[in-house]
Amino acid sequence: MPIRGGQIINIAGMTPVDDPEYRYKMPAVFGKIEGSGNGIKTALPNITDVGLSLHRQPGEVAKFFGTELGAQTRYSAETDRAIVNGAHTDQVLQDLINRYVEKFVLCPNCRLPETDYKIKSECIYHRCAACGAKDMVDMQHKLCNYILAEDKKAKKEAKKNGGKVRAMETILLNCWTA
């Protein structure tokens, strides 16, 4: 059964969870193709909702699309939408979200989406709030460079503002207030 935009689905990664009472849900990602010819692009109007349900920044989710599709991406917090260059179907976008969830959101131990990033000496770790596991993310993925750069920006911002708040908490706080 095809997944349509606006539909609420389970956060499951590559292996589907068919439980209708599953606690962890997210909106299905959908794209709107804009333009034609050489300037064709796909707008993602619900990227903020998807990012919030995964407890990740919408810019990070959009950047994952760019790294996996080999396309340029832009995220604008003012308009609450992301742009991915090229024409991409909803099914391709949903498959990529499932891959993102598998690699960067689900705990490798308990398979629940209760993880936060813990960055220590240029390495990104999953820290699971459900089972307490701490495992390293695949550092070979290009998205890790973006995550580390955003963490450095947040640390610099926190240092400028007094240094009381940890960097990733600042990022997540910005994500929730946007």
pTM over 0.75: yes
Residue 1 pLDDT class (50, 70, 90 cuts): very low
Sign of CA dihedral 97, 136, 57, 122: negative
Q: Inform me whether the pLDDT recorded for 65 exceeds 80.
A: yes
**Summary mean pLDDT of the chain:** 87
Under 8 Å between Cβ of 75 and 62? yes
Residue 5's Cβ-count burial label (10 Å; 0-12, 13-18, 19+) is middle
In Å, how far are 21, 54, 60, 67 from 142, measured between CA atoms?
Answer: 35, 19, 11, 6
* pLDDT tens-digit map of 2-28: 555 568 888 887 877 887 888 899 999
Q: Would you state the structure tokens that stand for residue 56, as one six-digit string?
A: 């990740």
Domains of the chain in start order, with CATH, are: 8-177 (3.30.30.170)
